[in-house]
Amino acid sequence: MTSATQRSISDEIAQLHTTAQPGETRTRLDFAPYRSSVLRHPTKQPLTVDPDDVELAAPVFGQSDVDPIEADLTLHPQGEPIGERMVVTGRVLDAEGRPVRGQLVEIWQANAAGRYVHKRDQHPAPLDPHFHGAGRCLTDDEGRYRFTTVKPGPYPWRNHDNAWRPAHIHFSLFGREFTQRLVTQMYFPGDPLFPLDPIFQSITDETARQRLIATYDHDITTHEWATGYRWDIVLTGSHGTPMEEDTDG
C-alpha cells in the first residue's frame, strides 16, 4: 500500500469516527471505507413474517447431534495441519452476566497461510490438505465453549489497494431457533492491521472494538502443545459483543 493510499483510508475512517454518535457501539451498516457495506447493507425497513413459516425453510442440524470432536479443527485422518496450534475458549453470557447454556457455536477461518477452503478464494497462498477450517460445539452449563485450531493468517481482500484483513476467526451463534443467529469475528491482540481494516473500524466506538479482541491466557496454554486465548461473548446489553450485519469479509 502506498503512503498516500494509507493516509486516504485512515483519514476517511477518522472522519467517520468523528461523526459517530456517543455510545454508538453497533457495527455501521453503511460504512464507506468498507465497500461491501455500501453495496449490500439493507436499505428498506424489515418485513414482518410468520416465524413458524421461516423455521420450515431454515437450515437444520442434520441427522446426528453435535459431536465433541467437531470442536477440534486440528484432527485429520491423514496428518496434522501446519501452523500455531491454539485453544480458543470463553463463555457466552447474557446482558446480566448469566451463562447461555446449550448454545450452538460455529466457527470458520482461514488456514495459517491466510487461505480459506473455498472455491472463491484463489489468492496465491497454499491450501493445507490437513485443515478444513470449520468447527462447532455446544456451550456447557456454565456457558463455556472451547475449540482447538491453528492461528489463521491475514489475507488480501480487494477492498482497496493493498488491502489485508487482520487475522480473525468468524463466530456464529444460534439461539433457541434458527431465526436467532448472530455472527461476529474474533481478533488477536496487537495486530498491526487494525487501523487499516474498515471492517474492524466500522465499529466507531473504541471500547466496543476492543471487545472483539481475544486475550492471551497462559493458564489455557498447554506445555509443548498449544497456546491459549480467552474470548467471552455477551449477547445483549451495554457490554454486548459487536455483531456483524449482512455484510461479510
Residues involved in catalysis = 116, 155, 165, 168, 170
- Rounded to an integer, what distance in angstroms lies between the CA atom of residue 159 and that of residue 197? 9
Host H or E run for residue 182: strand 181-187
Q: Are 101 and 93 in contact (CB under 8 A)?
A: no
Burial 139-155 (b: 16+ CB within 10 A, else e): beeebbbbbbbbbbbbb
Residue 21 has φ and ψ, to the nearest 5°, of -75, 145
- Give Cβ neighbours of residue 34 (< 8 Å, ≥ 6 apart): 159, 198, 199, 202, 247, 249
The vertex-37 CA angle with 233 and 246, nearest 5°, equals 50
